[in-house]
């Protein structure tokens, strides 16, 4: 016991002075991966310098930085491979090459490595493959690069290239060189800069000076690394390769410790120069660099460099507007040397990474607290022909000397600006909304840039695919119950050959059996048993037909007041509408008087954004084709429609008989033709103007139907109308409010598979990735980078219809929005506004009575996807109903 | 609810003993009991005893306890009322001042002592003990793909099940998926009805679409229920608001002003307001109700568990239809405190 007590009371502090320094320090701070035993053992064959093992003079600060950056790199590993901006052709080439490489090498090939190799070999798959295979044998490489390069100094180029994708460009003219650089040795550990420098230099004197200059080591060390050409000058020609191998090391090191990529670039180009000029030139070059570290204060250059690196420190420095290039004539020259005539577009680290961008958008969307301004779609900078990276073909590499100082000064200014050295203090910080800024096209990862690019040329794509075909038009047929909507449209479809004679005969026989022969045409559209037995349409039926110049998607809406929610859904998808009225004496009046659906439908359709309306005066044969009756109806409806907000020139009237088929496609009835010479129904439909489609907006697709795919394959089918943008097969879209990404497997328009669809199309998407049971009606598929907002509280401008009960706060209503109907409460009456001028008549009114207009706040019982009216007209409209009547139409003015 | 005994002094203090019988009685009890009241009820207490050797054992003991209520919790779905407070009457198991939580159990007597029994509370007892109020209706309100199975009692509307099924729409040429989906939906609704409706108690089931109450045939049958009376009163308020806005007001400030002018014909108050934590607040509304009645008006207390009550609560909780127009009130702004949220 006594002995134990002694041990317990022993004072370890004295013995382990500096314990924390040694043991509290993780090897991970120094190495990207755990070092093997070899790293700690002295091995003469590796020509270690003893100084490489002396840690004491490595300052704490630097280590922190290193570890920080390493973690950053670590986080990058999961990121998708970066591809520099390429033309369509090049991209296609890239992918085909990549596929080829995959075939040969299997999954062992990392995509990034493959892409790099392909780029390096100028899309020559054979060459790329050759390189990759060669590189995958590290031992052979070691042989080439001589003992000065140790295994642990082989860089993790990948990490670097992730952070600077545009620097990896096809401009590596030297294939073997490029392959060395782009090749990644997964085993390699990232060396400490100091080690790297010392090792590569093989010069003990210099390594000492490293110790003294540690606070800002990156530059000096870099330069020292480049002293190596001196060694080379000593007649070591084959070792040129080692320099090039070294350079990426340096780059990796720099990007870790400080992110001064530009310098790394400069150095690499230097080395390329070395390569290019062979050793005759290399001496001069290296001299340039030897001067740099000897400058007592290397700060200015660092300042310049950090201006566009990712670290927060750098940004602070950059915004402080420190002098950038003044103190370094030599350096400038070297910059000049490689930058002769090539424009370089650097990767902008101050802009957020696309992943961040998407994530932040998702968060915003879910929170729904985003102001309107931030929602402006990202402006896409058209891809200019900017050579990213280096072109070693520039001829004046060697000629850039001191002879033209003035011009150089100018040029360096230019160069630095291009490099982002001279960032103005006003440069947008990362914290601001990314959408407000322009984003360089190549700042986005693969999938993103694809959708962006495709968005860019959606118009041309649209022209290409749809240019020759008839314009698409969504037509909804509305009207009072039993006005003959389904019969009329069923007959029209039959006349146009959309329904076979055999099928028609079958309907005729079956309806006769039920004693409802007059419904035979309606059965074309009313297909469910209940609809047929009750003799009314209950849900919107969809069909297609073509006129002379249009391809029409027909939506036959139910007329019965119990099914108005379905009618709203149909009308929400329509571009134009047909209002069918019954001309029979008494019937028109019933439908038109208060309580009839003629008025309500006309108002609803108008409120849902349909401006062109065709009035079909049906069953005119029942009143003997009376011209007076037709005129009477036209006059009465005309007055009402004008009041409802239809322009006179956008409304036309056609007399028809749906059952007999008169004046549908041809008019032959002499009683009619004697006074009517206007167009037939078909001709009139043909005259509708197709609306402008929101082709260039982010994708929005409201799901209005979910069902199992018929083919028995897995996945589910989502039907609806594409409101904006364009969808292609294999697109990945976000489904809101579920917030899951799904993949489009198939697109069908009118049951025909197609590769792409555009805004306005009625489509059926077969998707994978989401569970059928999770998806609810009214969910929206949208662009993952610009998702739709999900909210349960909105502010809206409402127009109150002819209601019996005024709207107060707390009024329970049902909101009909696209295919959704949700319970909601009006929580606040903000203002009563003038119907036409929009002026505020009264703030905080006690109630909103009929025929007024107001600004209200609405709380919906559960979160739904919504858009502002000013962003997406169709998605910003909704109807408010209560107790079975439509009481108001609303426009979303803000989402809370 | 059964009233066992009632001793109330002229000054309003007193004690009432009640036996709750069904879930709705819990709701009434919830509305009766307020912060600071003392309640005496049979309850189960876990008691720890230490034996002579020092080992302790715990046992559950049923005992009568009297507590001064501090918090009142009511679960509307399960209809469980739970009262937490301090013991004010020491017995062999529980010390003075010890905290205890009492679950009010059906068919067990509890006695409630209040410092002041007001009109609203007494009225509540009368209402709760009225056997004719005891009518249960099960209602299934359906919409394509959506159904709510509710139980409607005199004071409560309890949504027992909500069924939300996506029914594929009819598609050109194929209606089988639609019909299958519809069938499945009906099956689910039937299952929910069987599970949630107790056919021994429930006298009728109403199967309807959301517009059911607009149908006069249904309205006339339900006319004598309290729920319907509430709906009617609220509708009347809205109708007056539409036709004669200067005769219908809501918001405490406007209503109080109208009451000062003795103008209130019908007062609509949500029972939420009487459950207020602060005695002041409660007194204010009680006074309002008393004053309206004194002036010959009608005061209707809405149950906040009915849709109409919910709507009234959204509408600040108080509304009034006046005997004569008071246009001067219209120009005054609504209460600032109620609007600022």
Domains and CATH numbers, chain B: 2-133 (2.30.30.870), 137-212 (3.30.420.60), 226-339 (3.30.1330.30)
Is residue A247 domain-shared with residue A102, that is, in the same domain? yes
Residues of chain B with pLDDT under 70: 131-135, 173, 210-226, 332-341
> In the β-sheet with A576-582, what is the strand arrangement from edge to edge?
A541-546, A550-556, A471-479, A576-582, A612-618, A651-655
Q: Distance between CA A646 and CA A653 in Å, rounded? A: 13
Say yes or no for a CB contact (<8 Å) between B310 and A812: yes
Last residue of a domain, one of A630, A663, A686: A686
Last residue of a domain, one of A747, A782, A817: A782
Say yes or no for a CB contact (<8 Å) between B168 and A706: yes
Number of domains in chain A: 4
Contact predicate A616/A610, CB 8 Å: no
Give Rg (Cα) of chain A. Answer: 37
Q: List the structure tokens of A733.
A: 């879209």
B186 near A CB under 8 A: no
Which residues have a Cβ under 8 Å from the Cβ of B86 and sit 6 or more positions away?
A: B67, B68, B70, B97, B98, B99, B100
Is residue A758 domain-shared with residue A875, that is, in the same domain? no
Is residue A493 domain-shared with residue A602, that is, in the same domain? yes
Is residue A798 domain-shared with residue A744, that is, in the same domain? no
B245 near A CB under 8 A: yes
B255 chain-A contacts, CB cut-off 8 A = none
Pick the residue of A499, A507, A525, A527 with the most B CBs within 10 A to test the interface with B by mutation. Answer: A527
A528 chain-B contacts, CB cut-off 8 A = 170, 175, 178-179
Is A838 strand, coil or helix?
Answer: coil
Other CB atoms within 10 Å distance of the CB of residue B150: 21
Of B171, B310, B315, the CB nearest to A808: B315
Say yes or no for a CB contact (<8 Å) between B171 and A707: yes
Is residue A97 domain-shared with residue A217, that is, in the same domain? yes
ipTM associated with this complex:
0.76
Other CB atoms within 10 Å distance of the CB of residue A52: 18
| DSSP string across A218-267 | HHHHHHHHTTHHHHHHTT-GGGHHHHHHHHHHHHHHHHHHT--HHHHHHH
Say yes or no for a CB contact (<8 Å) between B242 and A850: yes
Angle between helical axes of A204-212 and A193-201 (0-180°, round to 10): 160
Mean pLDDT of chain A: 66
Across A105-109, A606-610, B57-61, least confident range: A105-109
pLDDT in tens, A348-366: 555 556 666 667 776 666 5
Interface size A-B, in CB pairs within 8 Å, comes to 102
Rounded to a whole number of angstroms, the distance from the CA of B89 to the nearest CA of chain A is 45
Tell which wins on pLDDT, A153 or B309. B309
Is residue A646 domain-shared with residue A760, that is, in the same domain? no
> In the β-sheet with B2-8, what is the strand arrangement from edge to edge?
B2-8, B14-19, B110-114, B38-50, B56-75, B80-87, B99-104
Q: Which of B158, B253, B261, B146 is nearest to B201 (CA)?
A: B158
Pairing of strands B318-322, B248-250: antiparallel
Q: List the structure tokens of B175.
A: 């209606």
User: The tokens 């891809």 sit on which residue?
Assistant: A383
pLDDT in tens, A395-453: 344 433 444 444 444 444 444 444 433 333 433 334 333 333 333 333 333 344 344 44
Is residue A247 domain-shared with residue A156, that is, in the same domain? yes
Is A537 strand, coil or helix?
Answer: coil
Say yes or no for a CB contact (<8 Å) between A810 and B314: yes
Q: Distance between CA B106 and CA A569 in Å, rounded? A: 49
In a domain, A129, yes or no: yes
Which residues have a Cβ under 8 Å from the Cβ of A675 and sit 6 or more positions away?
A: A627
Gap between the terminal Cα atoms of chain A: 71
Is residue A763 domain-shared with residue A839, that is, in the same domain? no
CATH code for the domain of A714 = 2.40.30.10
Is residue A88 domain-shared with residue A233, that is, in the same domain? yes
Report the DSSP beta bridge partners of residue B60.
B46
Q: Which of A779, A692, A681 is nearest to A738 (CA)?
A: A779
Say yes or no for a CB contact (<8 Å) between B311 and A811: yes
Other CB atoms within 10 Å distance of the CB of residue B235: 15
User: Closest chain B residue to A537 measured between Cα atoms?
Assistant: B170
Rounded to a whole number of angstroms, the distance from the CA of B206 to the nearest CA of chain A is 17
Q: Which of A862, A776, A745 is nearest to A815 (CA)?
A: A862
- pLDDT of amino acid A381: 41
In a domain, A397, yes or no: no
Pick the residue of A533, A720, A735, A884 with the most B CBs within 10 A to test the interface with B by mutation. Answer: A884
Helix, strand, coil percent values for chain B (each to nearest 5): 35, 35, 30
pLDDT in tens, A543-581: 888 888 888 888 998 888 888 888 888 888 888 999 999
- pLDDT cut 90: percent of chain A above it: 2
Which residues have a Cβ under 8 Å from the Cβ of B132 and sit 6 or more positions away?
A: none
User: Closest chain A residue to B317 measured between Cα atoms?
Assistant: A810
B210 near A CB under 8 A: yes
A719 chain-B contacts, CB cut-off 8 A = 169, 171
In a domain, A578, yes or no: yes
pTM for the full predicted model = 0.59
Say yes or no for a CB contact (<8 Å) between A849 and B174: no
Contact predicate A550/A470, CB 8 Å: yes
Contact predicate B145/B166, CB 8 Å: yes
Q: Distance between CA A229 and CA A283 in Å, rounded? A: 7
B316 chain-A contacts, CB cut-off 8 A = 809-810
Say yes or no for a CB contact (<8 Å) between B211 and A884: yes
Domain around A797 = 790-895
Is residue A643 domain-shared with residue A755, that is, in the same domain? no
In a domain, A223, yes or no: yes
B179 chain-A contacts, CB cut-off 8 A = 528-529
Last residue of a domain, one of A726, A752, A782: A782
Which residues have a Cβ under 8 Å from the Cβ of A213 and sit 6 or more positions away?
A: A220, A293, A298
Say yes or no for a CB contact (<8 Å) between B169 and A806: no
Of B143, B211, B339, the CB nearest to A844: B339
In a domain, A592, yes or no: yes
- Does the pLDDT of residue A741 top 50, yes or no? yes
B174 near A CB under 8 A: yes
B215 chain-A contacts, CB cut-off 8 A = none
Q: Which of A790, A778, A793 is nearest to A739 (CA)?
A: A790
Contact predicate B230/B301, CB 8 Å: no
Which residues have a Cβ under 8 Å from the Cβ of A267 and sit 6 or more positions away?
A: A222, A225, A226, A247, A250, A251, A289
């Amino acid at each position: 016991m006594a002995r134990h007590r002694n041990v317990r009371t022993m004072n370890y502090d004295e013995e382990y002075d500096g314990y924390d320094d040694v043991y509290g320090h993780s090897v991970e701070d120094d190495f990207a991966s755990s070092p093997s035993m070899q790293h700690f053992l002295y091995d003469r064959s590796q020509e270690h310098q003893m100084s490489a093992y002396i840690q004491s003079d490595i300052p704490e600060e630097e280590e922190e930085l290193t570890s920080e950056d390493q973690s950053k790199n670590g986080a990058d590993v999961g990121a998708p491979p970066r591809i520099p901006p390429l033309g369509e052709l090049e991209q296609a080439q890239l992918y085909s090459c990549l596929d080829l490489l995959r075939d040969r090498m299997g999954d062992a090939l990392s995509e990034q490595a493959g892409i790099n190799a392909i780029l390096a070999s100028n899309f020559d798959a054979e060459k790329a493959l050759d390189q990759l295979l060669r590189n995958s044998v590290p031992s052979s490489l070691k042989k080439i690069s001589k003992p000065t390069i140790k295994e642990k100094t082989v860089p993790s180029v990948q990490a670097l290239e992730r952070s600077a994708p545009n620097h990896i460009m096809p401009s590596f003219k030297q294939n073997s060189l490029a392959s060395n650089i782009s090749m990644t040795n997964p085993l390699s550990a990232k060396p400490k800069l100091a080690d790297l420098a010392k090792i590569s230099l093989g010069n003990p004197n210099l390594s000492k000076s490293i110790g003294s200059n540690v606070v800002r080591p990156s530059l000096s060390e870099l330069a020292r690394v480049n002293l190596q050409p001196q060694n080379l000058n000593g007649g070591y020609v084959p070792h040129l390769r080692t320099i090039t191998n070294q350079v990426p090391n340096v780059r990796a090191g720099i990007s870790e410790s400080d992110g001064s990529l530009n310098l790394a670039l400069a150095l690499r180009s230097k080395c390329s120069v070395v390569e290019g000029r062979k050793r005759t030139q290399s001496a001069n070059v290296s001299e340039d660099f030897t001067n740099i570290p000897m400058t007592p204060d290397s700060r200015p250059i660092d300042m310049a460099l950090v201006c566009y690196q990712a670290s927060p420190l750098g940004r602070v420095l950059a915004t402080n507007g420190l002098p950038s290039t003044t103190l370094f004539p030599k350096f400038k020259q070297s910059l000049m040397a490689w930058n002769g005539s090539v424009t370089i577009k650097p990767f902008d680290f101050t802009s957020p990474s696309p992943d961040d961008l998407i994530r932040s958008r998702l968060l915003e969307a879910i929170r729904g607290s985003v102001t309107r301004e931030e929602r402006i779609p990202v402006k896409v900078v058209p891809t200019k022909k900017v050579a990213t990276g280096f072109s070693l073909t520039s001829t004046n590499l060697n000629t850039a000397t001191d002879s033209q100082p003035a011009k150089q000064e100018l040029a360096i200014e230019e160069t630095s600006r291009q490099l982002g050295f001279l960032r103005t203090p006003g440069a947008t910080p990362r914290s601001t909304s990314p959408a407000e800024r322009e984003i360089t096209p190549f700042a986005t990862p693969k999938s993103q840039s694809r959708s962006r690019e495709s968005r860019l040329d959606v118009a041309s794509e649209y022209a290409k695919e749809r240019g020759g075909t008839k314009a698409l038009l969504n037509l909804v047929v509305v009207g009072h119950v039993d006005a003959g909507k389904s019969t009329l449209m069923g007959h029209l479809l039959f006349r146009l050959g959309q329904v076979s004679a055999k099928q028609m005969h079958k309907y005729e026989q079956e309806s006769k059996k039920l004693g409802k022969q007059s419904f035979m045409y309606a059965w074309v559209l009313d297909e469910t048993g209940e609809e047929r037995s009750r003799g009314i349409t209950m849900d919107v039926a969809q069909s297609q037909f073509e006129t002379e110049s249009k391809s029409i998607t027909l939506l036959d809406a139910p007329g019965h007041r119990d099914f108005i929610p379905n009618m709203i859904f149909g009308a929400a998808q329509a571009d134009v509408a047909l209002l069918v009225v019954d001309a029979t004496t008494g019937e028109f009046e019933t439908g038109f008087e208060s309580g009839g659906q003629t008025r309500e439908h006309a108002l609803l359709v108008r409120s849902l954004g349909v401006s062109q309306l065709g009035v079909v005066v049906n069953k005119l044969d029942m009143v003997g084709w009376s011209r007076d009756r037709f005129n009477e109806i036209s006059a009465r409806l005309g007055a009402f429609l004008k009041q409802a907000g239809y322009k006179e020139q956008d409304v036309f009237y056609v007399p028809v008989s749906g059952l007999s088929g008169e004046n549908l496609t041809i008019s032959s009835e002499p009683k009619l033709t004697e006074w009517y010479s206007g167009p037939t129904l078909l001709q009139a439909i043909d005259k509708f103007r197709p609306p402008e489609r929101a082709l260039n907006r982010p994708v929005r697709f409201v799901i209005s139907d979910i069902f199992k795919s018929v083919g028995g394959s897995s996945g589910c089918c989502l039907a609806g109308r594409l409101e904006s943008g364009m969808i292609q097969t294999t697109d990945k879209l976000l489904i809101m409010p579920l917030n899951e990404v799904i993949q489009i497997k198939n697109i069908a328009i009118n049951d025909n598979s197609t590769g792409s669809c555009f805004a306005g199309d009625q489509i059926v998407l077969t998707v994978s990735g989401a569970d059928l049971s999770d998806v609810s009606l009214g969910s929206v598929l949208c662009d993952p980078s610009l998702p739709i907002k999900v909210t349960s509280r909105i502010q809206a401008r409402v127009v109150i219809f002819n209601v019996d009960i005024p709207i107060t706060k707390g009024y329970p209503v049902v909101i009909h929005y696209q295919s959704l109907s949700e319970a909601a409460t009006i929580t606040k009456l903000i203002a009563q506004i003038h119907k036409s001028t929009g002026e505020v008549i009264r703030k905080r009114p006690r109630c909103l009575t009929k025929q007024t207009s107001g600004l209200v706040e609405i709380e919906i019982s559960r979160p739904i996807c919504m858009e502002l009216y000013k962003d997406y007209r169709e998605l910003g409209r909704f109807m408010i109903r209560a107790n079975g009547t439509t009481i108001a139409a609303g426009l979303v003015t803000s989402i809370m | 609810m059964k009233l066992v005994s009632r001793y109330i002094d002229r000054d309003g203090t007193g004690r009432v003993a009640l036996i709750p019988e069904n879930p709705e009685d819990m709701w009434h009890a919830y509305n009766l009991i307020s912060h600071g009241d003392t309640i005496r009820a049979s309850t189960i207490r876990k008691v720890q005893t230490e034996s002579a050797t020092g080992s302790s054992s715990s046992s559950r003991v049923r005992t009568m306890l009297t507590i001064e209520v501090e918090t009142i919790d009511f679960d509307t779905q399960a209809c469980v009322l739970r009262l937490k407070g301090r013991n004010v009457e020491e017995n062999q198991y529980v010390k003075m001042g010890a905290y205890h939580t009492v679950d009010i159990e059906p068919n067990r007597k509890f006695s409630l002592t209040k410092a002041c029994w007001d009109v609203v509370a007494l009225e509540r007892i009368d209402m709760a003990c009225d056997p004719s109020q005891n009518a249960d209706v099960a209602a299934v309100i359906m919409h394509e793909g959506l159904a709510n199975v509710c139980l409607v009692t005199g004071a409560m509307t309890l949504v027992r099940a909500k069924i939300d099924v996506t029914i594929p729409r009819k598609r050109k040429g194929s209606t089988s998926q639609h019909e299958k989906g519809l069938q499945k939906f009906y099956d689910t609704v039937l299952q929910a009805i069987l599970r949630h409706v107790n056919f021994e108690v429930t006298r009728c089931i109403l199967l309807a679409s959301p517009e059911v109450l607009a149908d006069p045939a249904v309205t006339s049958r339900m006319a004598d229920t309290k729920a319907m009376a509430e709906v009617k009163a609220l509708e009347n308020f809205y109708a007056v608001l539409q036709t004669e806005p200067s005769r219908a007001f809501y918001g405490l400030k406007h209503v109080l002003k109208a009451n000062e002018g003795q103008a209130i014909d019908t007062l609509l108050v949500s029972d939420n307001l009487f459950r207020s934590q602060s005695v002041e607040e409660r007194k204010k509304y009680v006074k309002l109700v008393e004053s309206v009645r004194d002036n010959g008006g009608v005061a209707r207390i809405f149950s906040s568990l009915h849709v109409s009550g919910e709507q009234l609560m959204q509408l600040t909780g108080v509304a009034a239809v006046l005997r004569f127009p008071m246009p001067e009130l219209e120009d005054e702004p609504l209460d600032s405190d109620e609007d600022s949220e």
